[in-house]
Each structure stands twice: as C-alpha cells, then as structure tokens.
Structure 1
Amino acid sequence: MMLKNTKVILSLSVSIIVFIVYLFTLAPTVFFIDSGELAAVASTLGIAHPTGYPLFTIIGHLFSMLPVSASEIYKLNLMSAVFCTLAVFMFFFLLHLIYSYPQKDIPGNKKVKKAPKQNVQHNQQVPSIIKYGIVLASCLVLAFSKTFWGAANSVEVYPIHVFFIITLMFIFLKAVITPVKISEGESQVSFAKNNRYYLLFALLLGLSFTNHMTTILLAPACIIFFIFANRNQKGNISRLLIFMAICFVIGFSVYLYLPIRANQSPEFLWGNPYNFERFYWHLTGKQFSVWIFSAQGSVPVFLLLLSALLGLSIYGYIKRNNINPNYHFIAFIVIVFLSYLLLSSANEVVAKQFKTFTSSLWVEFGTGIVLLAIPGVFKLSRFNVKIFYFTLLTFFGCMLYSVNYDIHDIYSYFLLSYITIAIWIGFGIFYIFELLSAQLTDNTKKIAFAAVSILIALSPLYSNYAVNDESKNYFVEEYTMNIFRNIEPDGIVISTQWDFWLSASWYFHFVKNIRSDIIVIDRELLRRSWYFTFLERNYPEIYNNSKAEIDRFLPELYKFEHGIPYDQQVIMKTFTDLAASFVINNPGRKAYITWEIDQNKQEPVAANYLRIPEGLVFRLVKPDAMKNNILSDYKVYDFNFTPSRIKNYYYETLMQSYALMLSSSANYLMSMNRIEEAKKYVTLALTANPNYPQALELKRRLNL
C-alpha cells in the first residue's frame, strides 16, 4: 500500500510541477501554422484540414467553453498544456511498468534448459529508490525536451496525440504482460473482463486515430508483439480479435462527426466531407498526400530499411534465449548504420529531413543528454529483450516514416522517436547506477544517486526554457492585426501566407469578429472545390460577383481532383481569370495582395493592374486611377511589432516580410517626395531586419 501511494504521489507531483512550468511559458494568443484555424474550428465545431481531427475538435470545443475569464485561444492553448501534462503523467506509469518487469519476471516467460553461460541476463529487480529516481528523471527529460515542451505551449493536435501514444504504449504492454485468459464456456462478460487491457487498447486506438492518423506508427511494434504474445492461443484468439475489432470501431466511429457536421453547414468546413467520396478524401489526407514519399526513390529506401528493422527485430525476439545477448545491441548499431548510410545519401527531401532529425538530437533533451541513450539501449537489451525490440520498432518506425514528409514543421512528427529516446535515457542512468552499485550499498547513497539523476534531468529545463518561453509571443497576432490595419474598409486581400496570418485570420475574423468587413481570400485554397462553398457561405456577395468565372473553373477543377485528363493551359487560364475576377468584379472595394503573390509571375493576380506597395501589402490599382504616377489617397500606417532574431524559418520569414514591404513602401514614398514618412518605414524595416539590403540602401540615400 505504501509503495502504491508513493507511485501516485510522485506521479502527481511531477505532473503538477511540469504543468506549472507550462503555465509560465504558455502562448497568450495565436501561433504560427494551423493555430488560428484549429482554434476557429474548435470554437465553432467546424471541420479542420485533413485528416479532420474530430476528437481534437470536440475536446477543443469543450475547452473553449470553460467558464473562465480568458479568450478562446488562450483556453485552447491551455488545453495543450493539460494534455502534455497528462502525457507526462502516463509516461510515469509506463516507465514504472517497464522497470517493474525485468525479463525473467514477465508472466509466461519460459525457462530455457541449459542456457549458455554467456546468455544469462542479469535482470535483478530495480531497487525502489533507484526506480523512482530514474522514472522521475525520465519524465522530466521528456517533459522539458524541446519539441514536447513546444507542443504544450499552443493549440495543436499533437498534445492529445502524445497523450494517446503514451497511454496506448502503457496499456498495450500491460496487456502483453497480463496473459490472455480463456476458459471453455466462458461468458462474454467474463471474457471481456479477463481481456480488458486488450479491449481498452483497441478502444483507445480507435479514438487516437480520430485525433491523428500517425497513431499508425505504433503498428509495427504492436502487431509483432501481439502475434508473439498470443501465438499459442491459436483458434481462441479469433474471439479476442472480434472483441477488439468491435472496440476499435466504437472508438473510430468518432470520425462520423465529419459527415454529420458537414451536412449542418458549419462556418468552417475544410474539404466539405458531406458524402462518402469527400469523407474518404479527407480521412486519407488526399490533399496533402503529394508531400509524403514524394521524392524519387523514397519508397524503396523506406521499404528496405523497414524490412531490415523487422527482420533483425523478429529474429532477435525469437532467438532471444539462444543467442549471445550482444546480438541485440549489435542489431541496433546495424540499423543505425544502415539508416545513416541510406538516408543521408537519399534524395534531397529525405536527406534534408534526416539531417534535421539527427541534428536536433544534441539539443532536444538539453545539451548532450541524448548520449545517455546509447548505454541505455545497451542496458535495456539486457534488462528486457521484448521491450527493447518494442522500443526499437517505435523509434525507427517513426523516424523512417517522418523523414519522407516534405514539410517545414516536421519536428512534431518525430515525437514518438523522442518519447522512445526518453525511455532509453532513463536506462542510461540505470546503466550508470549498475556501474556504481558496489559503492551505492546503503539507502542514503542510493537516495543521493536518485537525487543527482533528477538534477541532471533538469538540464533540458534550463537549456530549453528560453526557446520555449512563448508567454510574450504576439508575433502572429501583431502581423495579422497589422495586415488588418492596412486594409481599407470593405477591402479584399488575396494571399498565400497561411502559416503567418491567414490561419490566424480565421480566428480573429470569424470568432472574434475583428475586421469582419474585409474579404480575406487564400489563393492556394482556390485550387480546392470545397473552398467555394466556404466563400459562398461567408462572402456571398463576392461569390456571386465571380459566379461566371467560378462556373468556368469548377469543371476543370473537377477533372484535376478526380484524376481525369485535363488541359493544363485551360485550367491555368480559368484559374488566373478567377483570381483576377475578385479584383475586377468588385470595383467598389480596394484590392490588395501580399508580397509572395506579387513575386509569382507565372500565376499573376489581375496582371493589368499596377502593384503599389502600401505598408505591408501591395494595392492593386488601375493605371488610369493614377495621376502623374501618384496615388492620391496613399496612406502611411502605424505598425507595431516585436522584432525577432530567432533563427527559425517562421520568424525569419516574418521579419523578412516586414523588411521587404516596408522598404518597398519607403521607396515609393520617396518617389512622392514624402521623405519623413519614408524615413519612418525605413527605420521599421531595419528594426525587423538590420541587414536587409534594400533598407540599408535607402538608409544611405536618406542619410539616416
């Protein structure tokens, strides 16, 4: 009883500490990428981008209605902190389970007669003091690792994902450790009770898929170990599989939210999955499939490495009692070597993402802490071969898949690998304990070792605090509000800057009703037929004014979406005509584009219009509206933003956007001889990027 209370007290204590830290670093508002969209969808019970994330949406909606004095976005950011904390809580129990079952103590293990001397594994029970010290240390290492902590700071689908992943690992290993009990004539209720861990696993597995499809990355480890754990059940296992299938379907049925809600005309209905075809497209992520295994040669390399991983793992598992125990660690080294050899020399996408992953490891858990994972892998291979191969499959299965995904925000896809490394780091600490065990004979010394382990585990808290402190991060909100400020009443703005303000605009525009007068159009989403339903419902006047162009474009888009042969020139012509129509057909509204639209010369928007840099956007103006090449109603705006020197794609691009547009606007002001206003914009441009060439040249010309 005392030990049980100790486990509960320590798990709650570490979770509370972690949650308090997360509160200090929590983002106060919208963040980059999908934050604004997900917040808008959760707040209004809409439909998010593929694969829909219905469980996230439902849970998020409940959080958005919490009776506390805070904005919807803050409550949803808080949800991320809560679920990452719950993930740490479950990680404690997962680790406690692993350390409680050295190889010989797992029920159902068979003794091998006359095992060779070198095959004997030293799997004594871990002293309780050391066990709890290592478990706490591992929890802290994971909780304050860079990517895991980052997920806790803002609204995203990954916090719920890691909670489910860790919970599923715990319940699955619990099920494997608890032998399946099957008796002749056993009632259905009794059968379900005796196999409750497998059934709970299946239910939560189905639920987890409704939050994020990368739950599939658990498949190699779980399928192999389910087969081996139940290989002697033979015919009786079919009953268990039927029960598990029913539980899985019950959990997975949350996905019915998508077609049900789509037919209720929500404000946000990405993909509009109102029928089976569109539901299937959304469920399978058809829109984003072009980014996974997209590079030439990706699939053969992936299959080769996966085959090697499965082959070495299955052989090592089957022969674990009859081969030299060093085989297991050697198998790990072989897979590492093959991965490095094949991935680092693969196509550009895979090589880039593999380098991103490997270079992240040195600082992910605090500088150099990842080195403890190496002796940890060795120790785990001696401590419990089954769990060793389980972690091997989760780590490499996740990494091999994720390096084939060509996106900027790739780190979150490595979370299962990072979780596995945190387990290995704990065993690295255990390995050090065993080396020092002769000197750590009394409880006082063991307590001291456990305390030192926990202190070392706090290294990532120190190393990663600054980079994960988002408590004053208003970058995306500032940029979005500055864009809004820049658009005249009833104006139209066309952009593709989803990651930087378009996503956020969904939240501010529709949930908070800020600048509800303006029309915001994402040009990239015009390539998707569902987006026209969105435009019709939210901007009916704009939709009707471009109805003729939409009707010409949609048949061509239908061919594209359904894989029917189409004429490239025709679809491009109808697309550019459509984009231009939002400007041409609404002469009473001022029209704007962002800088990347201007730079895209292959798909120009309203090519016959002049592009006048006005603040952070280009205003589209008819040539005959200019008098002596001067725009008479040209305005200078007061922009407030926080400069950033963070070396990161998103922050650097954001600062580049400020510098580029403010420099261009300053240059235009100089052409109108509005020198003082030009100086103001040049100063702001250099605040955003002190080394921006155009701003430096303007500074020289203005004698600033």
Structure 2
Amino acid sequence: MSKFNRINTLSGWLVFAIALVTYVLTVERTASFWDCGEFIACSYKLQVPHPPGAPLFLLIGRLFSMLAMGDVTQVAYWINMVSVVSSAFTILFLFWSITLLARKILGKQDDELSMGEIIAVVGSGLVGSLAYTYSDSFWFSAVEAEVYGLSSFFTAIVIWAVLKWERIEDDAAANRWLIFTFYLVGLSIGVHLLNLVTLPALALVYYFKKYKPTLWGGIAAFVGGLVVLVIINSGVIVWLPSIAGKFEIFFVNTLGTPYSVGIVVFLLLFVGTLIWGIRYTAKKENEIWNVALLSFTFVLVGYASYFLVLVRSNFNPPINENDPSDVISYVSYLKREQYGSRPLLFGPVFTARPINSERGEPIYRKSNGRYVIADYRPEYVYEKNQQMLFPRVHSNQGNHPQLYRDKLNLAEGQKP
C-alpha cells in the first residue's frame, strides 16, 4: 500500500469517527415529529407505513431495535441510530469520493503523488466531508429515524463505487464494480428514490471512460442516463408490478384461475426471459448487453426488499396503511395513488377550475373469486388557457393559493 493510500484510508476513518461521535452525542432519545414515530413503530414490528414504504429501512431498523434488549423505552433510540451510523458512513464515502476526484484532477497515480499533493488531496476531502457533516439539513436528518440519512449513504456509496470503477483498467474487474453499483441502486429504492438522480451523472462517468468525449456525445450520454432513470423509476418500480397486475386480472377474470396464478405465470415468464437473455449474451460474448442485463437483474434483486410490504400486509398488522395485501392494491401502493397526481410538464395553474370530469383507470377489488371494478379514477379536464408548461404554481390546497399570490404579486382573481 502506497503512502497516499495509507493516509487516505486513515483520514477517511478519522472523518467517519468525527461524524459518528457528533451524531451519537446529538441523537434524538425518543421520537421526533413528522414521520419518525411512524417509522419507529413500523420498524419495531415490521408494519406497513405510508406509501411507497421504505422496506429496507424498516428491516435495518428492526435489526437495530433488537439492541434495545427488550427494553421498549430504548427502541426509539436504537432505531434513530440507523440514521446516525448510515450518516457517518455517508461522510466516509463522501471523503473518499472527493479524494478520488482530486486525484483525477491531478492526473497522477497514487505512488506518484508528492507530500504536498497528498496534503492537498486529503485536505480537500477533509474540508468537503466535514463541511457536509455539520451542514444543518444533513445533521438534522442524521439524528432521527427518517429515511434521508440511509438514503444519503446509498447515494454516497454509489458515487464512490462508480468512481472506483472508473479507475480500474481490467474489464472483468471493472464490470463487477459496475454491477455492484446497480445492486446498490436497487437496494436504495427500498429506502428512498433520491439515489436515482445519480444515474445521469453515472452515465457521464461511463461515457468519459469508454469513449472519446464530444459535446453531442456528452449530451447523448446524459440523455441515456435519463432513460435509465425512467426505466428504473417507471419500469421497475411501477410498470413491472402493473403488468403483473394485468396478468393477474386476466387469469382470474378471463381464465377463471384462483388468485395469484397470474402473478406466478408472469414471474416465471419474466425471470425465464431474463435468464435466457443473460445466457444468450454471454454465449455470444456480447459484453455490453450482458453487463446491462446483469445490472438490471441486480437492480431487481435489490428492489426485492419490497416483497416485505406484501408479506407483512397479509399478516394484517396494526399499522397497515392502504392494506397492500394483493397485487392490485400493492400496485396502487407503489404508485402512491392516494396522493393524487401533480402536473410536471404541462397542466393547470392554481386558479384553474375543472370544466369536466372523465372516467379514468378502473379501481379493482376482490369479490367472490374475481376482481371487480369498484370505481374509476376521475380525470379532470381544464380549459387550455388555464394550463401552462411546467406549472410550478399548481396547488389549490390550504393556503397555497395565497402564498402564490404573495410571491407573484397577484391580485385576487388575477391569473398567473
């Protein structure tokens, strides 16, 4: 191990220790406001929190709750420690990511760095990581039972892993790091979706390593990263369960099979196709597609923590929000349908009023061995002059309209 690697490793663990001590000394002893109490209760008994849930956080929280040794008055404290430990590890991987980037800027191998350059690289890591350690927002979430500390950990380790991958010249070893990175992305979905925003950046790192960079190439790589984000965010998280739900409804309502047969058939077809694709690309020595399919598979493996929601809901625990005990209600749970929808690209502003309501997607419920339509989701129609691109002022709930008017200096009845 070179002198730099020794100093870099020890310095990383030093900032980890500083962060850990800081957060341990300031951790909440009981439950905080907002979602913390819910997450503590749901972690302790592996119950079902509000959509879309955080099953991996709950599993880890359950493990930490066992450190209370049966003392229920200490359960909240130990589940808060999930955020403490994961936030300290966030600082560790942030430090190592900064030093990796600093070495990249210098353009030298580890054993080529002078003592002055080592001090500069390690110093940049210390400044950056310790500044983040004591930043208000991060420190706040590092000492309570919320998902943001653990989510930040996954974001930090994903960035660190892809930067490690970028330095590896051997393709076989590098591919293992790439697949590992996507496994971490899959795991992170079971905590929070924040980690997905790293995907466009990861695509750029991949592009700059594999290809000679150009402006349009960089734009294409960024767009490719966005496509991967959509595939995971919409495809893996929403579309796959939705397709499974359609299989289930078809098999039960059309073919007359018992419940869950459609799910089993879908899983067999999907997993079989995935295995065939991996074997076929390996046989044809198509490295890019083989790594892509393996990475996709490991995203799914990480995402499998969401089976906890389905399993625990069927035990009907005291906290069982939305009761996602079958695939239909489970899909609704994952899609957060209880919150309604908000316009992202085009939609109404807060002063708009619906002029019509159309029948949307059907809402199914179990009844006598079938899935029956209980209702339809309404889709509201607005006048075109009441809609706009990127409608950031769309909410008409509570005091939101008045806040919009105050910020935009709009009179009562005036349109934005």
Shorter chain as denominator, the TM-score bin is 0.5 to 0.7
Correspondence for 1:328:
none
Q: Distance in 2 between matches of 1:238 and 1:197?
A: 16
Match of 1:88 in 2: 91
In structure 2, how many angstroms separate the alpha carbons of the residues matched to 1:148 and 1:283?
27
Which amino acid is the alignment partner of residue 299 of structure 1? L
The CA deviation at 1:228 is: 5.0
State yes or no: 1:213 paired with 2:193.
yes
Q: Quick one: distance in 1 between partners of 2:21 and 2:155?
A: 23
Correspondence for 1:274? 325
Alignment of 1:207-606 (within 5 A): 207-227=187-207, 229-230=209-210, 235-290=286-341, 293-294=342-343, 298-299=344-345, 558-559=374-375, 562-563=376-377
Return the letter of the residue paired with 2:46. Answer: L
Q: Distance in 2 between matches of 1:141 and 1:348?
A: 39
TM-score, length basis structure 1: 0.37
Structure 1 residues 194 and 222 mapped into 2: Cα distance closer, same or farther (>3 Å)? closer
Q: Higher strand fraction: Structure 1 or Structure 2? A: 2
- 8 Å CA contact 2:99, 2:124 repeated in 1: no
Offset of 1:147 from its aligned partner? 0.3
2:60: which partner in 1?
59
Query: Separation in 2 of the partners of 1:285 and 1:15?
Result: 36
State how far apart, in whole Å, the 2-side matches of 1:49 and 1:73 are.
19
Q: Secondary structure at 1:261's aligned position in 2?
A: helix
Residues 68 and 78 of structure 2 are in contact (CA less than 8 Å); yes or no, is this contact kept in structure 1? Answer: no
Check conservation: 1:19, 1:82, Cα contact below 8 A: yes
Q: Which residue among 154, 159, 167 is the counterpart of 2:157? A: 167
Structure 1 CA distance for aligned equivalents of residues 116 and 94 of structure 2? 18
Deviation per CA, 1:175-216: give whole Å up to 9, x if none. Answer: 2333462xxxxxxxxx4x452110110111100111112322
Are the aligned partners of 1:99 and 1:126 in contact in 2 as well (CA < 8 Å)? Answer: no
- CA–CA separation in structure 2 for the residues paired with 1:89 and 1:224: 24
Measured at CA, do residues 146 and 132 of structure 1 come closer, stay the same or move farther in structure 2, by a change above 3 Å? same
**Cα distance in 2 for residues equivalent to 1:27 and 1:249:** 34
CA contact (8 A) 1:47 1:269 kept: yes
Aligned in 2, Cα 1:235/1:5: closer, same or farther, shift over 3 Å? same
Match of 1:129 in 2: 119
Q: Report Cα offsets for 1:420-443 as digits up to 9, x if no partner.
A: xxxxxxxxxxxxxxxxxxxxxxxx
Contact 1:100 1:125 in 2 (8 A): no
Corresponding residue for residue 8 of structure 1: 9
Within 1, Cα distance between the matches of 2:211 and 2:346? 31
1:51–1:126 CA distance, 2 compared to 1 (3 A): farther
One-letter identity of the residue aligned with 1:201: T
Structure 1 residue 171 displacement after superposition: 0.7
Distance 2:298 2:130 in 1: 33
Aligned partners of 1:137 and 1:37: how far apart in 2? 36
Aligned-residue offset at 1:164? 0.1
Amino acid at match of 1:97: L
Sort the Cα spacing of 1:285 and 1:261 in 2 relative to 1 into closer, same or farther, 3 A. Answer: same
| Conserved? CA contact 1:25–1:153, under 8 Å | yes
Name the CA shift for 1:97/1:348 in 2 (closer, same or farther; >3 Å): farther
Partner of 1:147: 137
| Residues 349-385 of structure 1, C-alpha deviations (whole Å, 9 max, x = no match) | 9xxxxxxxxxxxxxxxxxxxxxxxxxxxxxxxxxxxx
Q: What is the distance in 2 between the residues matched to 1:214 and 1:137?
A: 24
Aligned-partner SS, 1:563: strand
Q: 1:52 to 1:238 in 2, by over 3 A?
A: same
Shift of 1:23: 2.1
Structure 2: distance between partners of 1:30 and 1:211: 19
Q: Deviations over 1:600-620 (max 9, x none)?
A: 9xxxxxxxxxxxxxxxxxxxx
Contact preservation (8 Å) 2:162, 2:178: yes
Cα gap change, 1:125 to 1:255, in 2 (>3 Å): farther
- The CA deviation at 1:286 is 2.1
Other structure's SS at 2:320 match: coil
**Residue type of the alignment partner of 2:287:** N
Aligned residue in 2 for 1:396: none
5+ residue gaps in structure 1? 107-123, 182-190, 302-345, 350-528, 530-554, 567-599, 601-704
Question: Which residue in 1 is equivalent to 2:407?
Answer: none
Q: Distance in 2 between matches of 1:283 and 1:228?
A: 35
1:79 paired with 2:82, answer yes
Query: After superposition, what is the alpha-carbon deviation per residue over 1:2-23, rounded to whole angstroms, capped at 9, x for unaligned?
Result: 4322222211222112221212
- Equivalent residue pairs, number: 284
8 Å CA contact retained: 1:180, 1:230: no
8 A Cα contact 2:165 2:174, kept in partner: no
Q: Which runs of 5+ in 2 are unaligned?
A: 213-284, 352-362, 364-371, 381-397, 399-416
Kindly provide the amino acid, as one letter, of the partner of residue 161 in structure 2. I
CA change 1:226–1:274 in 2 (3 A) is farther
